Structure 1
Amino acid sequence: MRPTSEPGPTPGPRTGARRRVPAIDVLRGIAILGTLASNIWIFTVGLESWESEPLWLTELVSSLPNGKFLGLLTIMFGIGLEIQRQAALRAGRSWPGTYPVRAGLLFLDGVVNYVFVIQFDVLRAYAFTGLIVAFLLLTSERVQLWIAALFVALHVGLLVINVEGTGVDRSMTGDESMAPADVGSGGYWSTVRNVLDNFWVGFSPGSEFTTIVVMGVAMFLLGARLYRAGVFEPAGRVLRRWLMVVGLLVALPVDLVLRAQVLDLPLVAVQASARYGTAAVVAFGILALVAEVYQHRPVGWSGRRLADVGAMALSCYMLQNILGVIFSHTVAPAVELSPVGALVATGALFLGISGFLVVFSGLWLRRFGRGPFELFWSWCYRTITRT
């Protein structure tokens, strides 16, 4: 499969210069803040006394966003990849061209995030997945759909094997084992050394890296296909409605039943099935719902704030993790709260970090066209490719 300047699939509804679709940046912003809602509990795990019984409300609130916004972020990466492909073709450049350089830089960014910031980094997996899918986008629509179906089947099979095995990597479930540090056994630098000592564990077959790569190939391809099919266009109304039916009326109730733990299934099986199974399908419904909303109304004030976060998605993702880790190593070890107090503090931290990201991104974009991490990343890319 050689790089080519001719597109594999049909470019979709856009034939001229691409206009910026506001809903895409809004969705990226929702995905970034949604992943924070999923991960915020890891940063505050040290607030609550280990002798306390967890509140049912805490378990409910922490489980609801888990996986849905990871899925949405994964879809948006696939859409972004297709946008880059179409831009390259319009400019007369071959595809994938220099995209492997972009993927390599994103992977290095993810490694830094994984070692020095947080262990549930997704950038490494997205970079590896993007490199694979960049070449798969050279194939026809039919081949891409068959490959997506194959990886969905592989993902489900691996999910079943992992949750039934005795050596399940519990980081797959998003539980406390992914906490940024064991603050009681040496603090931050002790954690960094531990990550380096066990570096390759984060890439093992049972790790979240592998799970996201397998799931991501399918979701990247489906995201790219939806973009070409006009999911953000007025003519895509029927497609959006079908996605909302499947994602919100079918998958969401199933997801809620799984998370309610009313089925006689092992907890780890339920958590993994929801996080990487039903939640991923719900994400397609969320995408369609937001796309439909902005077909009928302007973005508005709240939408613009989310779009600012989405326009600086990489910077906001990195910053929310950095701020969370700082909290987990400073405030969290110094206090011990009741379950109710820990729940309130977690909510306050989420609102505080989210508010900071919204304000910071809005102010930054008044002066610069890209976020700080994006600017540095772009400089590295231009330096390497001499463009």
Structure 2
Amino acid sequence: MIQLTATPTSALADEPIHIQATGLHPLQMVVFVASLKDEKENLFHSQAFYRADEAGEVDLERDPALGGDYVGVHPMGLFWSMKPKKILSRLSKQDVINSPFRVQLELYNSDDLQLRTPLAAPKASQTVERWYAAPGVTRTQVQEGRIRGALFLPPGDGPFPGVLDLFGGGGGLMESRASLLASHGFASLALAYFGYADLPPQLEKVDLDYFEEAANFLLSHPKVLGPGIGIVSTCKGAEIGLSMAIHLKQITAAVLINGPNFIFTQPHEYHGQVFQGVPIALHSVSTNALGLIEFRNSFGNPQAEGNRHVLLPIEKSQAHFLFIVGEADKTMNSKANAEGAIEQLMSHGKNNWTLLSYPGAGHLIEPCYAPLCSGSWCLNLPMLWGGEVIPHAMAQEHSWKEIQKFLRQHLTPGQPSLL
């Protein structure tokens, strides 16, 4: 009898699943198919071909995929190689507390599966649940003063290390990373800063006083461990995170994912002082063969001698920095930006930084096992984010562990790491 097993059948979205098939003919060729629908009914799917061993078994922790959406031994390849049926869709969990993504795993005889034709009946199937919050994690809607967001707390009395979670220039509120951080012991505030609730619909300026309010709100919570907090930030959020780390003593650890070391487009303002940004050079914006927009070369060269005045003065910060770079980022020259920031630190005798630079990884480096999103709609623009499927997946798996280690090291000094 053919069986498909996936263990565990219910787990956090950043936890691995062990997939096996038994009861096959010796050396039989089979196809594993994974699929899920997001909360908007968008379909994401993947497939990979395997050959059973002499005992009629396939073990994804041991056996290589021979073709399909990836090749080689990749136990979680069916998850991170998923592609959207609707082009330019990004997999993003909306309700992170009450419902998981349900991934349907199916096993087919390779002869029964023909692309672009109706699927034959699977030989076996299994559904697995991928949750974004561990049991006991709580979510509280935050509407405190000007602050808008969602606070996630781990179960227990704490106190827990505090983290502000910031995403990029698409606006709104993304909660999936903050809820996973809370699942691993961090008090996490997913912070919106435009395009959400009663916040401005567009980002006209970066008001650092707003972000200081959020930092103080988080630090004042009785379950948050002081004296400082961390930031995990991506793209525009990483620009803001760097600026916060420079101006706010509350920030002691900053994770900056594919961000700039300069202000771009919107000015920053702090206590009435305005810091101007670099405008986008529209003539340098390019598109690929599919018409997706690439901004990578549209900021000129902020590192050049004549442009030094636009660089954020990172050397003034007392925080520790973790730079995470996707070398195949098509939105920013993230590697040059991180290296420029590190050069500034080193020229002032500082060593408060770590750099993780990943060849083949794109702009949207997310918690592990998330599918690569190489392009999607952002602010009504078809954006090219970049990345290659396997290197990007490896970058996400490695960096997600390193982010947690880094935050624990600098927010809970002297305490043993749980990783």
Choose between structure 1 and 2: higher strand proportion. Answer: 2
Larger-gyration structure (1/2): 2
For Structure 1 versus Structure 2, the TM-score category normalised by the shorter chain is under 0.3
TM-score, length basis structure 1: 0.25
Identify the structure with the greater helix proportion. 1
